[in-house]
Amino acid sequence: FVTRQMHENPQFVEDVCRNILQNAKDAFNDRNLEMNAEATSLESIHKHDVIAQGHIVVNGG
């Protein structure tokens, strides 16, 4: 299921972080929340991996 879903909706690592943080904000918008997200793409084609990080504070954390 997860693999099929990933192939149907490919995303860059920065999009993954952004979506995680947005979903958390939407789900917990009535609470104090501070959250970090990190996604890593383990590259097989390139000689480097790609890492994206994000941080949100909702209602003062």
Which position has the higher pLDDT, 43 or 40?
A: 40
- Residue 29 sits at φ, ψ, to 5 deg, of -65, -15
Provide the domain count of the chain: 1
pLDDT confidence tier of residue 24, bands split at 50, 70 and 90: very high
| Global confidence as pTM | 0.79
The pLDDT assigned to 13 comes to 93
Burial of 52 (0-12, 13-18, 19+ CB in 10 A): middle
Task: Give the residue numbers spanning the domain of 52.
Answer: 2-58
The pLDDT assigned to 57 comes to 96
**Mean pLDDT of the 12-37 span:** 95
Percent of the chain surpassing pLDDT 90: 74
